[in-house]
Amino acid sequence: MTEILKLDPLHPDPAIIHKAAQIIHTGGLVAFPTETVYGLGANALDSHAVQRIFLAKGRPANDPLIVHIQNKDWLESIVRNFPPQTEALVNHFWPGPLTLIFPRKEIIPPNVTAGGENVAVRAPSHPVAQALLAACGVPIAAPSANRFGHTSPTQAKHVLEDLGGRIDLVLDGGDCSIGLESTVLDLTQNPPVILRPGGIPREEIERIIGKVLLATKSPEMEEVLPSPGLLQRHYSPNSTLILVENTSGNRASAIKVMLDFVLKAQKEVQKPIGILTVNEETHHYESFHQLEVISLGSVNNLQEIGRNLFAGLRTLEQAGVEVILTTDFGEEGLGLAIRDRLRRAASQIIRI
C-alpha cells in the first residue's frame, strides 16, 4: 500500500514531514516534490534502502543517483574535495536545480554512485524537500519518481500512476514549478562538463564560472563522452513521439512540416494524433478532426513550456494517441533542456 498525504507546498505540516522522516529513517521510500520533478527518496547512507529505489523503479544498477542535501554545509560530510568553482556555484545556485558531481567520501554506499568514485549532489529549494531534509538530518538519495524509462513526474498523481503500491508514501505538494530535471554539471573535469542540461541554463552557469562543455553525441557540439547513466532513450511516453527539430528557428516552416505530417498520417493512423504546441499556434490545428491538441504555453515563455512539458506528454499518452507530434524551441536558455528531453523521448527526429 502506498499512502498519499497532501500538504501545503509553502508551509508543509510538521506532523506529516515528521511521519515521512520516520519512514526514511526506517529504510522506507518516500516520494516528495522538488522544484524540478518529484523525487523518490531513501536514506542515502543506507545501502539497503537505496537498493529499494532501484527495485521500485526497475532502474538498472549502473545508473547512479543524485544525493540531496539541505545546504552547502552538508557537503563536507559526503564529498572528498571541492574543485575551485564550487564556492561560486553553490553560493549562486543553491538551493536550486543544479546538481554537481564531486569525488565521493566512503560514507556514501557504492550503489548510490553505481560503483563509481564520484557522487552527484544537489540542494533542492522546494519547501517540502527542505523540510524533509531538515527533519531527516541525513542526505536523501532520490531519482525522479517514475518507472525507469518513463516521463518524469511533475504531479503527485504521476507518481502514483508509475509507482503506486511499490513505495511507502507520496507527499503531494502540488505541481512542480520548473518541471524539468536539474542541470547536472561534472566538476571533476576541467573545464566542467554539463552531463544533462536542465533547470539552470548553460548561459547562467557560464556567467558565473566561465566556459563549460556540453556532453553530447551530436556532431555540431563539443564531443565528450556522457556518463553511463545518460541513456539515449529515456523520459519516453508510451505513444510514439515524433520531434520536428527546428534548428533554423523558423516556426513557420516547422508548422508546415507538422501540418503536412498530420495530413499524411491521418490517412494511415486510425486513432487520434496528439499535437504538443503553443498558444500562438493552436489555431493551425483547429480544422482537423481526430487531433488531441495540447498547448504548453506561450512560445515566448520557455519557463511555462518546460513546466508543462512532461504533464502534456502524459495527458496525450492517456488520451490513447498512437503518435505525438511536436517541435522544439531552440537551444537558448531552457530551450536546450527542453530539446534534450524531447530528443530522448522521440522515436523519430525530423531535422529542418
Q: Give me the least distance between CB of 196 and ligand TXA, in Å please.
A: 5
Full 3-state SS string of 172-230: ECCCCCCCCCCEEEECCCCCCEEEECCCCCHHHHHHHHCCCEECECCCCCCCECCCCCC
Question: Parallel, antiparallel, or unpaired: how do β-strands 98-103 and 118-122 relate?
Answer: antiparallel
Q: Grid coordinates 487520434 are at which residue?
A: 272
Residue 242 sits at φ, ψ, to 5 deg, of -115, 120
Q: With respect to Mg ion, which residue has the nearer C-beta, 262 or 311?
A: 311
CA–CA separation, 313 and 335 (whole Å): 17
Q: Coil, helix or strand for 304?
A: helix
CA–CA separation, 273 and 252 (whole Å): 20
The reply on whether position 277 binds ligand TXA by CB under 6 A is: no
Residue (of 61, 75, 60) closest to 120 by Cα position? 75
**Count of positions on this chain that bind ligand TXA (CB under 6 A):** 29
Q: With respect to ligand TXA, which residue has the nearer C-beta, 39 or 312?
A: 39
Q: Coil, helix or strand for 151?
A: coil
State the binding partner of 43 from ligand TXA, Mg ion, none, CB within 5 to 8 A by kind: none
* Per-residue x/- track, 129-148, Mg ion (CB under 5 A): ---------------x----
Grid coordinates belonging to 76: 563536507
Residues 169-208 that bind Mg ion (CB under 5 A): none
Q: With respect to Mg ion, which residue has the nearer C-beta, 99 or 144?
A: 144
Question: Parallel, antiparallel, or unpaired: how do β-strands 30-32 and 98-103 relate?
Answer: unpaired
CA–CA separation, 114 and 27 (whole Å): 19
Asked if 303 and 334 touch (Cβ cutoff 8 Å), the reply is yes
CA–CA separation, 149 and 51 (whole Å): 18
Please, is 174 exposed, middle or buried when counting C-beta atoms within 10 Å of its C-beta (0-12, 13-18, 19+)? middle
* Per-residue x/- track, 33-62, ligand TXA (CB under 6 A): -x-xx-x-----------------------
Q: Give me the least distance between CB of 103 and Mg ion, in Å please.
A: 23
Q: With respect to Mg ion, which residue has the nearer C-beta, 113 or 144?
A: 144
Q: Residue from 45, 66, 128, 337 that binds ligand TXA (CB under 6 A)? A: 66
Residues 309-328 that bind ligand TXA (CB under 6 A): none
Q: With respect to Mg ion, which residue has the nearer C-beta, 31 or 244?
A: 31
Residues 174-233 that bind ligand TXA (CB under 6 A): 181-182, 184, 195-196, 227, 229-230
State the binding partner of 183 from Mg ion, ligand TXA, none, CB within 5 to 8 A by kind: none
Q: Residue from 99, 130, 155, 295 that binds ligand TXA (CB under 6 A)? A: 99
State the binding partner of 52 from ligand TXA, Mg ion, none, CB within 5 to 8 A by kind: none
Among the listed ranges 9-17, 141-149, 239-247, 259-267, the one in contact with ligand TXA (CB under 6 A) is 141-149
Residue 115 sits at φ, ψ, to 5 deg, of 85, -5
Q: Give me the least distance between CB of 261 and ligand TXA, in Å please.
A: 31
State the binding partner of 13 from Mg ion, ligand TXA, none, CB within 5 to 8 A by kind: none
Q: With respect to ligand TXA, which residue has the nearer C-beta, 196 or 343?
A: 196
Residues near ligand TXA, by CB under 6 A: 34, 36-37, 39, 63-66, 97, 99, 101, 113, 116, 118-120, 122, 124, 142-144, 181-182, 184, 195-196, 227, 229-230
